[in-house]
Amino acid sequence: MKNVQIEKLSDPYTIRRLTDADVPLLYAWMLRNDQYFRYCGGGTTPERVRQDLTLCPPGTALAQKHYVGFFDEDTLVAVMDLIDGYPDADTAFIGFFMVNKDLQGQGTGTAIVHDVLAALRALGYTAVRLGIDKENPQSNHFWRKNGFAVLREAAQERGIVLLAERRLA
């Protein structure tokens, strides 16, 4: 772990850890993004949102997880699940990233990812990994446009996931 300071992940936004108190906001916000859920399991529930707040990859501790919201005043702009030091000490893992549906296609997500990658590079990370739903054209385009290269395919319960990585060094 490299001690990620979440408030420094992006200058234009207020960034804070999301908690159980945010579940109603997150649930309503996520329901609006029907395309995402069409490709990754068919929907969400308040309980699933609550579980995602603490769900960690095997072998990681909750202290490594940063489930954060990017806010512009009171507006939730984006949500990111960032795992510090996974799968190794020099790599961070983005487990989830979603931009407010009203702001998609305007460069908001790309700007946030650019800021996060710069912050992680400054901390000494050499790579960032994530999984892309193979059948989701929007996600595929977004992550490839942002410099992530597919390493391999992995079969999961919800379909084929592309393990992708962007080198930071």
Determine the Cα–Cα distance for residues 35 and 33; give it in Å rounded to an integer: 6
Listed as ranges, residues in the chain with pLDDT below 70 are: 1, 34-42, 157-158
Give the global pTM.
Answer: 0.91
- Please tell me the predicted confidence (pLDDT) of residue 15: 96
- Please tell me the predicted confidence (pLDDT) of residue 2: 72
- Please tell me the predicted confidence (pLDDT) of residue 4: 83
- Please tell me the predicted confidence (pLDDT) of residue 38: 62
Angle at the Cα of 141 (from 137 to 144), degrees rounded to 5? 135
Assess if residue 33 is contained within a domain.
Answer: yes
Q: Which of 141, 143, 137, 152 is nearest to 39 (CA)?
A: 137
Q: How many domains does the chain have?
A: 1
What is the domain extent for residue 86?
A: 6-125
Burial of 62 (0-12, 13-18, 19+ CB in 10 A): exposed
Assess if residue 137 is contained within a domain.
Answer: no
